[in-house]
Structure 1
Amino acid sequence: MLGDGAPLPVVAALAELPEPDTAAALAALARAEVVKDEQPLAFVHPLVREAVYRDQPAAERALRHERAAGLLRAAGATDEQVAAHLLLAPVRGDGEATEVLCRAARTAAERGAADSAVTYLRRALEELPADAQRCDLLRELGMLESLVDGAASTEHLLQAYERLTDPRERADVAVAIARTQVFASPPGAATAFARRAADALPGDLADHRQALLAIELVSGYMHALDPALWRHPVPDPDGEGYGAQMLAAALAYDVTIEGADRERAVRLARFALEGDRLWAVDHGLFWVVAAIIRMLADDDLGDFWARARAEAHARGSLFAVLSTNLWQGFWHWRRGELTEADSCLANALDESRMWGGAGIAPPFALAFLIGCHLDRGDLAAARATADAAGAAPALGDGGRLLQHAIARVLTAEGHHDRALAVLDAVPTPVPVPNPVWNPWRSTAALALRGLGRTDDAVAVAEEEVRLLRRWGAPGHLGASLRLLGELRGAAGLDHLREAVGLLATTTAAVDLARARCALGARPELPDHEAVPLLRAALEEAHARAAVGIRDRARAALQRRGCPDAVERESVLAPTATELRILELSAGGLGIREVAQQLFLTPGMVRTVLEKASAAGLKFLSSPSGEGRALATGRTP
């Protein structure tokens, strides 16, 4: 029998010959060096294999695939092996073929190959008439599609929803539809559907009602809808179910927006993430919201993102990987891990294009990328990202944060009037008092200072500090105090000292370096206090590739007669994604295989491999064969 190197429709054709004729045909092909004279038999070259395959008319190929599927089934092959040929076989309305395709889909889903499972189920759907079994298949297909293709998912789930009669099954599908519509449908669709579905629920499905209420609340914020359409008093979560956890995340969001009760927001968010249970029913909405709230509250997430990434890959969920990359990128940025943040956010943009949808994720990713570039001191890259964002849709919270980031770029470029105009034009249908999620004041203060309106700048910064003291997250408060201290000049020394003290208790490494630099650069500070601050700022900024802060710290040291002893170029270490690409490539996987496994585009994988090749990067194995490490022939 021919192996993987030969198309099985050819096997089907040979199988129809008498055995002596088959043996003679194979011998002739081996002498002509078309196939290998070994077991299992295969074509000598893939180009020959493809030529032989394509030489058959399409209709004949389809029949051969059907024959190959039958041979494999009779030989006891796996469902996935058989299904691979049924995909290309004629549609017969064959119940047995449908069962094989569905079993293959479940096997693929169990091993995390959601895209393959979706392909099998879509083909199975073609075999079925419009009956009850078709309804079940629509539901199964729509649930899997929500992992990899948002628009198709909502279409199939809505078809299933209209056919279902069991109230609990309808409620399960309703929650999945509304959750997917948040990202896959136009603004307002999720809110309207969630309300209609909740009104149709029987009284005993209270947890489902909580889930739909949570979706209505969060999508209202995320889509920047008129609050008259969706905002109303929301009860506290009731029970321990998934719906209760979703509602807790939504309420934590609401509390954070108000910015007055950080402890309650953290308590609700922690309950939402308890036991990682939401991962089983939510691919990237409420557990992400809860994690965002904890980050905005400076509540340590531990290894949360590593666990989330492992779960997303295990499920084969492109959407969960996208969500993880986006918000782990935000997490890395807040921690000053700028290179890792860049990598995660760039991946999120690519994955968002692959998943499709209404463009909710890209504005967030672009806003955070601009922040990374500005923290690095790379104004040109920040401007390029802002320009690239100009043509992208800017919806809801993400659109608002993106406009704030663009205003920050304009301020850095000296276009202070334009920056203020951008801020004034940002729509905020629902007031967002908390500066951790509406950071316009710090940008406005910088623009006002640039226009010579220092008193106005100080007033705006003081208001931000007041609001952040009420919220109480030390990282955000420390960054705001640093700005206020710089704006107030000689009167701001105490603000700078407080900023350094607060930031030293957090993981916000770049913000801490910036605050130490600002304090150490104050001329009234004696050398014995200023120099250690400046050296610490320089070292941290250098390690984080925050070149602008590093250069300011170096200049301040030089003014004090303490120049940096070593002029060093920033060396960007490979990111976790780059290391994984190189490791999988070294293990023998091709570009497309690596891209599929990591949910990346082939172009991105190719770029990483070409960059690594140009830099002379390679893998070295430890004596045990484990723990490969990246090495280079160059010395940084």
Structure 2
Amino acid sequence: MKRRLCTKVEELSMRKVLLERDDAVAAAAKAGESARSGGGRWVLFSGVTGMGRTALLSEVTAREAAGGAMDVLHASCSPEEAGFPFALVRRLFPEAEEVPFADLPADKEQVVFHRLVTRLAQAAYRRPVLLTVDDLHDADMASRRWIGYLARRLTGIPVLLVLTECGEKGVTVLPGETGTSVRLRPLGPEATARLVSAGGHDADRAELCAQACGGSPALVHALLADLCAGPLPRGLSELGGSRYRDAIAHWIRVRATPGSRRIALALAAAGGGTAVLGEALLQEAAGLFPGHRATPVSTSALGRLFSHRLAREAALAAADPAELGELRGRIARLLDERGAPAADVAAQLLRLDRPGEEWMTRSLEDAAEEAVRGGRVHEAIALLRHALTAPLTPDRRAGLALRLGALELPHSADAGIRRLHAALELPLDHHERAAVAPALGAALVARGRTVTAMRVMRRAGSTVDDGELVRVLQTTAALMASHDAVAWRDAVARMRELAATAPAAIEPLACGLVTEYEVGAGRLSAAETLDRVLPRLAAPVDPRLRSGWLGSAATLLQWADRLAEARAFADEALPAPPVLPDLTDIGRQCLISVRAEAALWTGDFRRVVAENAPLLDACAGQGIRLPHLASMVALARYELGHRAHAHRLLAAIDEESADSSWEWNELRYARAFVHAAEGNRQAALDDYLACGRGQSARDFVSPVATPWRSGAALALVGLGQPARALELAEEELRHARTWGTPRVVGRALRAHAAAVGGRRALESLTEAAALLRTAEAPVELIETLLDLGHARIDTGNGRKGRDDLYEAHALALRLLATDATGDPDTPDGPAAAAATGRLVRATDNALRASGARGPRQVTKSCAVLTRAERRIAELAAQGQTNAQIGAALQLARRTVETHLTHAYRKLGVTRRTQLASRLTGTGEAASAPGG
């Protein structure tokens, strides 16, 4: 049935082949009328292959000879007989004995020409003659000369001479006074559509034929035949037949001139045709230089055809692989020399067996970096893998392998680590080896293999005889050691020794690591810590340790509640999404954690998700666990009200494979927090105590990172064990006061209040609220205000208690009111998000339980702004730009933006023009339940 349908389509299509050929038919009819009246004429139909020259010649023959009006002499030329003198003439006059078989001298050739014209004229006087020649470009030279001889003598002879010729293969010059030339143009879209619809096809197939056939009737017929059996193809392999592919292949291999073939292949190889290369560059890429081609090649018709994928695939399939490879290399080089985008150059290089020259490797590398910046990591990986097939020096190969391993690691930990292992085994000098070993070590740490990472670092250091390089490796290894409790103690001991004698460029990181340990051990206050860190921020640091020092300094600044500065360091070293951070840099691993936790502490829950979820998604199931980052994102989602998602994140990490890394303690703390929020006090207590055991094994007693004692105390109170709760709460408060930041002390005071109860609780909560109002700690402040409100209500002060609850509710709403991921200069995102977060639910419930009735207007004021936020907000309200504010306060622009973002969120505004009214307390009020 399908075969019969195809046959019908072909028949219908053939009857319509002369669409847009009216001018040609009319020219032939006029010439035929003249010839039959005794005035001979010639008509030459010229066009590229596939334009229907032969079909047109047949139609003209049928029309002009209809009813016996003219006798017909016809011959078709073939390239196989182009070398035989007079071959065409013998086919036209097979009985003429005077036609020779060899070239003749000019005078004798003229005699033969004259006799043949005389013979033709005598026949035409009896009845007009239609003499047709198809494919004149393939005729032998002697016959072509005779055709010209005849054309000059047609006057007075009743002969119509109709010729066809492929314009790509030569141009026959005939006398204009006796005839005319007609160039056959490609079919337009409308004509193609009519041709397709004649076979019963729909508009989609008509559009496909218009795009994939370049106006060639022959290709339209071929493609229609291939389309009969199935749906529209997405590629050549999906065609129902091979006629279309064979037609293009035959043209490429047989019919096309060398120049046209080269242009066609260049168009197909370039992908976008002239849009990518431009016509002049295309000619050069095809090797068609001025003076090196016999006839000019026009790219317009070919460009139209090979702009479609089907035609390109067919041409490339028909090409000689060696010719195609040479052509791709030439295109790539020309694009590179003319400054084309690296991606366009790389598109050609990827199709070569291997890049053979350095510029090719460089182009692939550049294109990979562009792909990374665009978030197309898998594309970048393919480009770098191809670059590594080139003949490279060991150091160049190691550099590419490092970059490739970093890109592969999140998506396949084992593949990335194997890549880095292979790089380390190359014949490298000590400095090159010292660059590869830390990358492999960091990858192993991310994989959870810290012990192996330390072994790699020790082996790398043992082969180095450069003292400074050895200390760089030791310091980097110490940063990795923080993921193993035993190795961490040993590393800190070495760093104490090293800090006393280390070069100035190494000492900051050594000091930072020692300080991290001593903070965790409860030996330093925040002020003492800042006294160590801040002076060293301006000190020169070895470039190989730069990210490690930023990670250590940012960690300490975060603990000290210098959150804007901590985030600024992280933002300096980490890319913005969708680009993933480099996990083969141990310092950047630290900064990833700082960036996430600092945003969580300030209540920027959406920022936590936006910046870190892409990395977690990429690593899911690929061997990189990132328990701390997963904990931060889970807590942020939980605060936003996405409880199911948070549970999935926390459950996805298998703790059975946990080691002594600090990251697992963060995970235990996050799980405990969620259990507590859902009222599962025993599960919360178990996880809090597990977190505490893990921290104690690392000598980390400070509540600065994971306040597990506070959480456990609150759980114990709920379980009816106040004495045990008080013991933990008092120990927590003692360590908190040693550290001394409002966040840590306020948080500990809240737990202490829960344990002591009564009037003492009210005093602790009042102190906690006062402290937390001076810090950028909205979550802790809201939780404290909830407890303070309940405590006041319980002691008979219902009005003040409800005021505390109203304030807590307003703060909870503001945490969700503005998308903190927006630019502080243009915070035109949603004015409010759905109020489904944990804290909004908690404050709603508290207000209802307190007996509050009806809405109450709670003014958004600047009471909860920190001093820095208030100062920056005031300057912004005066109309100063971020750059001007930074210059006035001697702050980095990023720090200004961070503070301003927080102020926008706290004040519930979305643009600068609203700041002045909010700061003076005259702005619009937020609706909150009241009584």
TM-score for the superposition, normalised by structure 1: 0.72
Q: Aligned residue pairs: how many? A: 544
Q: Distance in 2 between matches of 1:52 and 1:63?
A: 15
Q: For residues 262-299 of structure 1, give each alpha carbon's deviation from its aligned partner in whole angstroms, at most 9, with x where no partner exists.
A: 34443454466547967x54696552343122112213
Q: For residues 383-434 of structure 1, give each alpha carbon's deviation from its aligned partner in whole angstroms, at most 9, with x where no partner exists.
A: 3433334589645222221122223323333433333444455563423212
Distance 1:431 1:402, change over 3 A: same
Q: Distance in 2 between matches of 1:315 and 1:412?
A: 32
2:666–2:706: 8 Å Cα contact kept in structure 1?
Answer: yes
1:336–1:509: 8 Å Cα contact kept in structure 2?
Answer: yes
2:570–2:592: 8 Å Cα contact kept in structure 1?
Answer: no
What is the aligned counterpart of 1:234 among 487, 495, 507?
495
Q: Name the residue aligned to 1:407.
A: 672
Distance 1:553 1:186, change over 3 A: closer
* One-letter amino acid of the counterpart of residue 302, structure 1: E
Q: Name the residue aligned to 1:212.
A: 473
Q: Name the residue aligned to 1:599.
A: none
Q: Post-superposition shift, 1:549?
A: 3.5
2:580–2:615: 8 Å Cα contact kept in structure 1?
Answer: no
Distance 1:78 1:117, change over 3 A: farther
Q: For residues 5-38 of structure 1, give each alpha carbon's deviation from its aligned partner in whole angstroms, at most 9, with x where no partner exists.
A: 24989979993789688846852674xxx35xxx
Q: Distance in 1 between matches of 2:272 and 2:541?
A: 43
Q: Distance in 2 between matches of 1:174 and 1:104?
A: 25
1:27 matches 2:301 = yes
Q: Distance in 1 between matches of 2:493 and 2:566?
A: 35
What is the aligned counterpart of 1:565 among 853, 856, 862?
856
Q: Name the residue aligned to 2:772.
A: 503
What is the aligned counterpart of 1:540 among 811, 814, 834?
811
Q: For residues 481-520 of structure 1, give each alpha carbon's deviation from its aligned partner in whole angstroms, at most 9, with x where no partner exists.
A: 1122133221311110111121111101121122122212
What is the aligned counterpart of 1:69 among 291, 311, 329?
329
Q: Name the residue aligned to 1:188.
A: 451
What is the aligned counterpart of 1:302 among 555, 565, 572?
565
Bigger Cα Rg: 2
Q: Distance in 2 between matches of 1:250 and 1:159?
A: 31
5+ residue gaps, structure 1: 36-42, 568-635
Q: Name the residue aligned to 2:635.
A: 371
Q: Name the residue aligned to 2:519.
A: 256
| Superposition map of 1:8-407 within 5 A | 15=286, 23=297, 27=301, 30=304, 34=305, 43=307, 48-49=308-309, 52-53=312-313, 56-57=316-317, 64-74=324-334, 76-78=337-339, 80=342, 81-91=344-354, 94=356, 97-102=357-362, 105=365, 109=369, 113=373, 119-128=382-391, 134-145=393-404, 147-150=406-409, 155-164=418-427, 166-184=429-447, 186-202=449-465, 204-206=466-468, 208-224=469-485, 232-235=493-496, 237=499, 243-262=506-525, 263-270=527-534, 273-274=537-538, 281=544, 285-302=548-565, 304-305=567-568, 308=571, 312=575, 318-319=581-582, 326-353=593-620, 358-359=624-625, 361=626, 363-376=627-640, 379-390=643-654, 394-395=658-659, 396-407=661-672
* One-letter amino acid of the counterpart of residue 754, structure 2: E
Q: Distance in 1 between matches of 2:286 and 2:702?
A: 72
* One-letter amino acid of the counterpart of residue 777, structure 2: A
1:167–1:201: 8 Å Cα contact kept in structure 2?
Answer: yes
* One-letter amino acid of the counterpart of residue 330, structure 2: G
2:676–2:684: 8 Å Cα contact kept in structure 1?
Answer: yes
2:557–2:565: 8 Å Cα contact kept in structure 1?
Answer: no
2:602–2:778: 8 Å Cα contact kept in structure 1?
Answer: yes
Q: Post-superposition shift, 1:119?
A: 5.0
Distance 1:337 1:86, change over 3 A: closer
* One-letter amino acid of the counterpart of residue 449, structure 2: P
* One-letter amino acid of the counterpart of residue 537, structure 1: A
Q: Distance in 2 between matches of 1:241 and 1:352?
A: 37
1:478–1:503: 8 Å Cα contact kept in structure 2?
Answer: yes
> Larger relative contact order (C-alpha < 8 A, sep ≥ 6)?
1
Q: For residues 178-200 of structure 1, give each alpha carbon's deviation from its aligned partner in whole angstroms, at most 9, with x where no partner exists.
A: 34443256231221222233343
1:404–1:423: 8 Å Cα contact kept in structure 2?
Answer: yes
1:487 matches 2:747 = no
5+ residue gaps, structure 2: 1-262, 817-835, 859-926
Greater helix share, structure number = 1
Q: Distance in 2 between matches of 1:218 and 1:294?
A: 17
Q: Distance in 2 between matches of 1:325 and 1:484?
A: 32
* One-letter amino acid of the counterpart of residue 297, structure 1: A
Q: The residue matched to 1:544 in structure 2 has which SS?
A: helix
Query: C-alpha root-mean-square deviation of aligned residues, in Å?
Result: 4.4
Distance 1:483 1:229, change over 3 A: closer
Which shifted more, 7-16 or 165-174? 7-16
1:253–1:293: 8 Å Cα contact kept in structure 2?
Answer: yes
Q: Distance in 1 between matches of 2:505 and 2:631?
A: 31
1:375–1:510: 8 Å Cα contact kept in structure 2?
Answer: no
Q: The residue matched to 1:565 in structure 2 has which SS?
A: strand
TM-score for the superposition, normalised by structure 2: 0.51
1:442–1:461: 8 Å Cα contact kept in structure 2?
Answer: yes
Which shifted more, 9-18 or 322-331? 9-18
Distance 1:380 1:169, change over 3 A: closer
Which shifted more, 400-409 or 224-233? 224-233
Q: Distance in 2 between matches of 1:60 and 1:272?
A: 64
Q: Distance in 2 between matches of 1:127 and 1:333?
A: 46
Distance 1:447 1:529, change over 3 A: closer
Which shifted more, 70-79 or 395-404? 70-79
Q: The residue matched to 2:454 in structure 1 has which SS?
A: helix
* One-letter amino acid of the counterpart of residue 335, structure 1: T
Q: Name the residue aligned to 1:515.
A: 784
Q: Post-superposition shift, 1:251?
A: 2.2
2:395–2:432: 8 Å Cα contact kept in structure 1?
Answer: no
Q: Distance in 2 between matches of 1:226 and 1:323?
A: 17
Q: Name the residue aligned to 2:742.
A: 474
| Superposition map of 1:442-461 within 5 A | 442-461=710-729
2:345–2:363: 8 Å Cα contact kept in structure 1?
Answer: no
Q: Distance in 2 between matches of 1:377 and 1:389?
A: 21
Q: Post-superposition shift, 1:314?
A: 12
Distance 1:457 1:22, change over 3 A: farther
Q: Distance in 2 between matches of 1:515 and 1:563?
A: 24
Q: Post-superposition shift, 1:479?
A: 1.4
1:258–1:433: 8 Å Cα contact kept in structure 2?
Answer: yes
Q: Name the residue aligned to 1:577.
A: none
Distance 1:367 1:255, change over 3 A: same
Which shifted more, 436-445 or 106-115? 106-115
Q: Post-superposition shift, 1:455?
A: 2.0
Q: The residue matched to 2:609 in structure 1 has which SS?
A: helix
